[in-house]
Homo-oligomer: A and B are copies of this chain.
Amino acid sequence: MSTERRRARTEDEKHFRRQQILDAAEQHFSEVGYEGFSMANLAKLVGVVKGTLYLYFKTREEVFLTLYNQSLVRWSHVFLEQLQGSMTDRDYVTTLYTTALADGSFIPLLTRLEHVIEHNVSIESLIQSKRNFIERVDCLAQATAPVLSLNQSQSVELVKTMGVLLVGATRADQSPSLHGEDIPDDVQALIDSFSSENIFIKNACRIISGIRTADGSITES
């Protein structure tokens, strides 16, 4: 807040202003979550009026889609940095899981991507987002192949499948926090049994085994 009060006239200035909004959005999102996020509050945080936000983003979801794109890139860099020359399957998936959760925005946005965010976004933005995704998958797959001794197509399949599993496994983490409530033992036991870390790591390992085991020719039948 209270940084630039000048009007953004050049493309550079506009780009900078846009990023200012995104930074504030990231902060607002981390504070109130997806459902609590409002454009009016975001505007206050940026220090502009609500209408100004719509000069830079067509809809609220365009903000989220951009945040998602940025968080995907950000996470993939962190993850790639932590990859070693050779890792066990378990180390690989643990690193993937840990880095993904460490980013405050990535998982919550990924969770809502298809069924909420993509539904109020221009086709151009959607295509751009998918292209960004393709690029990240390719990059991750390229780096993954040697680490896990997979060929290229196996590696691509693995990376895509990890995304699927990550969304499914981390569902449990999105439940309302029940701290201070008295939960019956049977229900508490159920909740405990859905520890996202356990579920992700265990099944990710099973899937890697499955991918590695299958001979490349068989796909359907």
Q: Are B209 and A115 in contact (CB under 8 A)?
A: no
The DSSP consensus for interface residues of chain A is helix
Q: Are A114 and B209 in contact (CB under 8 A)?
A: no
Q: Are B112 and A184 in contact (CB under 8 A)?
A: no
Which A residues, 96 to 135, have Cβ-Cβ distances below 8 Å to chain B? 108, 111-116, 118-119, 123, 126-127, 130-131, 133-134
Q: A194: CB under 8 A from chain B?
A: yes
Query: A163: which B residues are within 8 A, CB to CB?
Result: 168
Seen from chain A, the residues whose Cβ lies within 8 Å of a Cβ on chain B are 34-35, 108, 111-116, 118-119, 123, 126-127, 130-131, 133-134, 160-161, 163-169, 171-172, 174-176, 178, 181, 183-184, 186-187, 190-191, 193-194, 198-199, 202-203, 205-207, 209-211, 220
